[in-house]
């Protein structure tokens, strides 16, 4: 069978099950198995071996069960970096790139003040890796409780040859000695526990529960992080937090009660206040 014929069949099956963008998903699966770029797919239309066709069909069956395509392909793209992902690690979201962008905008300040960056709840390591790549003078540390997530983060570090980042297994600040950082970033779990069970099946049935669960009100990790962050942040150091829908005002209150100054909130394309930037107010 030719590759194009296989793609047409996958598109037909995906359309029957109302999957979005079936053509792109079919192309991605076939290219992944053949280990070729899309340009070669269209210029060469290669023949499939029986083994390749069998592998493709097995991946399509996984997708029909609503397994995320990123897990099937074993990677995704984030801020122009190939991120390794699989079951047990949260899939990076496009809106998280906003946080990275805001950090990079302030790279001169970070470099001048000490160059050390701490990424809490690092998960796949996407934030830490993107910052490390785009601010090569920095030294970035990513911490996550999940050994599985740290495994994937290190895989991506090696894949992209990013050397100025280190990943550590641990719960928030626990693995750290009393060292100070120029800034702290975090995209913590922020979904209310009861709401996780209402999410689409690709998320609730496959992505790790602990990486989604922000507690009863979704704010558990913001409280824990902001309660202790001053111990690890230089004077006038910055904190960059990703937020969930409708959380900005409450997180602002939590931040102020812990002695932080609100610098700005940054909205995503949907108008949601997605990133909050705080300053360690000198007392």
pLDDT string in tens for the chain (283-residue length):
889 899 999 999 999 999 999 999 999 999 999 999 888 888 888 889 999 999 999 999 999 999 999 999 999 999 999 999 999 999 999 999 999 999 999 999 999 988 999 999 999 999 999 999 999 999 999 999 999 999 999 999 999 999 999 999 999 999 998 889 999 999 999 999 999 999 999 999 999 999 999 999 999 999 999 999 999 999 999 999 999 999 999 999 999 999 999 999 999 999 999 999 999 976 6
- Within 10 A of 14 (CB to CB), how many other CB atoms are there? 20
- Whether 192 and 215 have beta carbons less than 8 Å apart is answered as yes
Q: What is the pLDDT of residue 283?
A: 62
Considering only CA atoms, give the Rg of the chain. Answer: 21
Produce one character per residue of 193-229: b if its CB has 16 or more CB atoms within 10 Å, e if not: beebeeeeebbbebbbeebbbbbeebbbbbbbbbeeb
The owner of tokens 């592998």 is 55
- Within 10 A of 274 (CB to CB), how many other CB atoms are there? 24
pTM here? 0.94
HSE-CB for 30 with a 13 A CA cutoff: 27
The Cα 97–Cα 118 span in angstroms is: 17
The Cα 281–Cα 155 span in angstroms is: 37
């Amino acid at each position: 069978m030719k590759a194009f014929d296989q793609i047409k069949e996958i598109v037909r099956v995906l359309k029957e099950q109302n999957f979005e963008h079936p053509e792109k998903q079919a192309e991605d699966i076939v290219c992944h198995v053949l280990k070729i770029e899309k340009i070669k797919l269209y210029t060469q239309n290669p023949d499939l071996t029986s083994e390749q066709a069998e592998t493709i069909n097995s991946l399509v069956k996984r997708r029909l069960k609503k397994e995320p395509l990123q897990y099937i392909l074993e990677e995704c793209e984030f801020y122009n970096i190939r991120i390794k992902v699989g079951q047990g690690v949260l899939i990076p979201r496009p809106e998280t790139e906003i946080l990275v962008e805001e950090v990079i905008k302030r790279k001169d300040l970070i470099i001048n003040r000490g160059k050390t960056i701490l990424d809490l709840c690092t998960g796949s390591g996407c934030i830490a890796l993107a910052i490390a790549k785009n601010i090569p003078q920095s030294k970035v540390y990513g911490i996550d409780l999940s050994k599985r997530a740290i495994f994937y983060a290190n895989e991506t570090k090696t894949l992209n040859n990013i050397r100025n980042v280190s990943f550590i297994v641990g719960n928030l600040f626990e693995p750290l000695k009393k060292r100070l950082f120029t800034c702290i970033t975090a995209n913590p779990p922020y979904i209310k526990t009861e709401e996780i069970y209402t999410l689409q099946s690709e998320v609730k049935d496959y992505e790790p529960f602990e990486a989604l669960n922000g507690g009863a009100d979704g704010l558990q990790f913001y409280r824990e992080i902001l309660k202790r962050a001053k111990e690890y942040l230089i004077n006038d150091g910055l904190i960059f937090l990703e937020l969930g829908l409708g959380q900005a005002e409450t997180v602002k209150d939590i931040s102020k009660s812990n002695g932080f100054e609100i610098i700005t909130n940054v909205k995503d394309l949907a108008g949601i206040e997605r990133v909050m930037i705080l300053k360690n107010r000198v007392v």
